[in-house]
Chains A and B, each alone.
Chain A
Amino acid sequence: MARFDTPDGYFDAASSEPPHPAGRTALLDALETGWADPARLYGAARTARLTLDGARAQVAEVLGVRPDEVSFTGSGTQAVHLAVLGGLRARWRTGRHLVVSAVEHSSVLHAAELHELDGGTVTTVGVDRAGRVDPAEFAAALRPDTALACLQSANHEVGTVQPVEEVAAHCRATGVPLFVDAAQSAGRADLPGGWSLLAASAHKWGGPPGVGTLVIRKNTRWRSPLPADEREGRRVPGFENVPGAVGAAAALAAFRAEMAEEGPRLAALVEEIRARLPHLVPDVQVVGDPVRRLPHLVTFSCLYVAGEALLTELDRLGFAVSSGSSCTADTLRPSHVLEAMGVITHGNVRVSLPRGAKSTDVQRFLAVLPEAVARLRRSAGINA
């Protein structure tokens, strides 16, 4: 069987990490052993139950939580929706006020919108030019009727790491549970402390698609926003994806262990891009916090260039990258993250290195990028 390797020039780990071989092997094994209904009382069912609980224990260990605090969901987005809506529902007697940062993932903001349509209120806390929340400003948004607060561990578009522990301390002082969307950092770094609910997504650490993780800490009130169902400790409805959970857990353990060495190597490559970019491309702005950021990700904007055109050009040259510029999404609005930061929203490129990204690929990227940008600028009539 061919071993899966990261394709050359794939720089979009923040969208999806290429499948980790350990996860793939575990997934295939579990397809054969973990297919039975884990809720039943015969041999194959007990095997499926044990397999599922083994995966749960493995995820809990890597995340530093208790196994009974971990549930598997159908995606990271589903985990976010359950965390936000279930966290709000459990505290409706306290109030119906929700606090979110302006740069949360769309799944959080859409859940907040639903809450608002449902009669709840939402306060959005802004960010600075680097995309970072001010803990004092976040604390000031907490009210006696605040049912839940949401803050990502790190931003998905610009990589800025949020002050989760400081915000968590403020939340604790006012008795408000904090939900952390850890999709961009789980598996790459240790989780911050102090939160009550957390969501993550397996395909971001090389696990299979269709598996998310919802963590609800002990003593956190939570009530399912969905119809009752016995599965996953009554937290996630539907027949459990045992093979998916096993693949996700094996990938997470292997990925996290490798990051001890691989993380610093990727960080050095990103550091090189950050350092050389301003000298290679005129009128380029590296966005996001220069220090408090995800080590494998760098985002920059090139003036006078449409993001979509640049992505197409880079794809032609063999590079898979992503962009927060408006034309690339299925919308005409610019990225809400770049907008909240008040930085250039066009010509935006996000490079996020997957495990095993080659230094030679990064060098080639830096070699072809200046001419690609210059070409697009010339065709727009700019002589920079």
Chain B
Amino acid sequence: MGFLRRTRKAVPAPAPVPAPAPDPEWPPAYLVLDALGRKCPIPIIMVAERIREVPVGEVIAVKADDVAARTDIPAWCRMKSQDFVREEPLLHGWAFHIRRNY
């Protein structure tokens, strides 16, 4: 169930194999933020601070490896009426893609 796997050590990202190639179906992000190694809520704070640098309709991506981000970033998008586009698995962590709606 994975519930037992709670540990004081940093939770390693589930190893996504093989290394994901850039997906041609998805347009590249206009701006990519690096929050790897940062705990929530830092990744969300970074997105909130910098989403205005992206034109409306464009995508901002944030890389993070705190598992809480997998819940928090989509939840933040719902609260703020931004579009959560996708969660892209990285070798370590994920890149969360968000489309600026307004």
CB contact between B1 and one of A122, A327, A334, A380 (< 8 Å): that residue: A122
From residue B47, how far is it (CB to closest CB) to chain A in Å?
10
Is A174's beta carbon under 8 Å from chain B? no
Question: In chain A between 355 and 383, which residues have their CB closer than 8 angstroms to a CB of chain B?
Answer: 380-382
Is A155's beta carbon under 8 Å from chain B? no
Lowest 6 A-B CB distances belong to which pairs?
A: A334-B68, A331-B6, A346-B41, A344-B75, A346-B40, A109-B3
The contact sample of 11 A-B pairs, CB cut-off 8 A, is A110-B3, A110-B4, A113-B3, A303-B44, A332-B11, A334-B71, A342-B75, A345-B71, A346-B40, A346-B44, A382-B49
A124–B2 Cα distance when bound, in Å, is 12
Question: In chain B between 68 and 99, which residues have their CB closer than 8 angstroms to a CB of chain A?
Answer: 68, 71-72, 74-76, 79
Q: How large is the interface on B (under 10, 10 to 19, 20 to 34, 35 or more residues)?
A: 20 to 34
A7–B38 Cα distance when bound, in Å, is 37
Q: Which A residues fall within an 8 A CB radius of B? A: 106, 109-110, 112-113, 116, 122, 124, 283, 285, 303-306, 326-327, 330-334, 336, 338-339, 342-347, 380-382
A303 touches B79 (CB 8 A): yes
B79 touches A344 (CB 8 A): yes
Which residue on chain B has the smallest CB distance to residue A343?
Answer: B75
B20-51 vs A: 1/0 string, CB under 8 Å?
00000000000000000001111011001100
Q: Which B residues fall within an 8 A CB radius of A? A: 1, 3-4, 6-11, 39-42, 44-45, 48-49, 66-68, 71-72, 74-76, 79
Which residues of chain B come closer than 8 Å to A116, judged between CB atoms? 1
A116–B3 Cα distance when bound, in Å, is 12
Which residues of chain B come closer than 8 Å to A345, judged between CB atoms? 40, 68, 71-72, 75
- Do A332 and B10 form a contact, CB below 8 Å, given A110-B4, A304-B41, A305-B41? yes
A110–B1 Cα distance when bound, in Å, is 9
A333–B71 Cα distance when bound, in Å, is 11
A332 touches B7 (CB 8 A): yes
From residue B4, how far is it (CB to closest CB) to chain A in Å?
5
- Do A344 and B76 form a contact, CB below 8 Å, given A332-B11, A334-B68? yes
Which residues of chain A come closer than 8 Å to B42, judged between CB atoms? 380
A113 touches B1 (CB 8 A): yes
B40 touches A334 (CB 8 A): yes
A48–B49 Cα distance when bound, in Å, is 66
A303–B3 Cα distance when bound, in Å, is 25
B8 touches A346 (CB 8 A): no
B67 touches A333 (CB 8 A): yes
From residue B43, how far is it (CB to closest CB) to chain A in Å?
10
B72 touches A344 (CB 8 A): yes
A326 touches B45 (CB 8 A): no
CB contact between B3 and one of A106, A347, A380, A382 (< 8 Å): that residue: A106
A327–B8 Cα distance when bound, in Å, is 10
From residue A45, how far is it (CB to closest CB) to chain B in Å?
43
From residue B11, how far is it (CB to closest CB) to chain A in Å?
6
